[in-house]
Structure 1
Amino acid sequence: MPHFVIDCSENILKLHSEDEVIKQVHTSAISTKLFNKNDIKVRVNSFKKYSTGDKKENFIHIFANIMEGRSIEQKLNLSKTIVKDLALMFPLVPHIGTNVIEFERATYFNKNMLNPNYQFSMP
């Protein structure tokens, strides 16, 4: 955790490779100092069929799924940082956005937590 899921029009990946886009979002997330770099997971979904209002324009949207507990200012900075960095990478893409979704600590579980010695900590 955290998980960054990038939805984008398929033409985005003709401008920059999946690996480049993944690396940029990873780098942006690290730069906020909210996460351990080894915990950040990033993946891409590209779409051939989509609409952006009444047009079909290129888009990138990042769903940032993070553990609860960060301030509104920290979450806003995360969103702004990702959008700013992607806007520099894709200056002609008209639709670039991010939203932050929080996991509840009480209901989050992963395989590592099956270990009886596991202790959850936030960086």
Structure 2
Amino acid sequence: MPHFVIDCSQHILEIKEPQAILQEVHQAANDSNLFEEADIKVRLNPFKENYLVGGKEENFIHVFANIMEGRSTEEKANLSKDIVNKLKIMFPNIPFIAININDFEKATYRNKAMV
């Protein structure tokens, strides 16, 4: 925990190496001081086809963040702003860059070590 899943158009990977994108999101999450670095997980899902943005095949980046409940709205807003700002700097010509943050419920979350 937390999980940052990056959906993007395939063209994004022609601009920057996947590892650079993953590292940038990881570093932003780590710099937030909301998580232990060893717990941060970042994945990338490029879409070569079968996507539309505003009814067209436009380039995009969308980060889906899933974090354990307990952070304030302000903390989550700062995290989302920092991640979008870093991606905006990396990809100044990409028209759609966004993030949303969802909370995991502690009572229902389980991982291998908890069972």
TM-score norm. by structure 2 comes to 0.96
For structure 2, the 5+ residue unaligned runs are none
Q: Which residue of 1 aligns with 2:43?
A: 43
Q: Which residue of 2 aligns with 1:118?
A: none
Matched, 1:73 2:59: no
Distance 2:76 2:102 in 1: 9
Q: How does 1:4-43 map to 2 (within 5 A)?
A: 4-43=4-43
For structure 1, the 5+ residue unaligned runs are 115-123
Q: Give the CA deviation at 1:56.
A: 1.8
Report percent identity of matched pairs: 56
TM-score norm. by structure 1 comes to 0.90
Q: Which residue of 2 aligns with 1:102?
A: 103
Distance 2:113 2:92 in 1: 40
Please list every run of at least 4 consecutive aligned residues from structure 1 whose deviation after the TM superposition is greater than 6 angstroms: none
- CA-based RMSD of the aligned residues comes to 0.7
Residue-by-residue CA offset, 1:40-81 (whole Å, 9 max, x unaligned): 000000101211012221100000000001000001011101
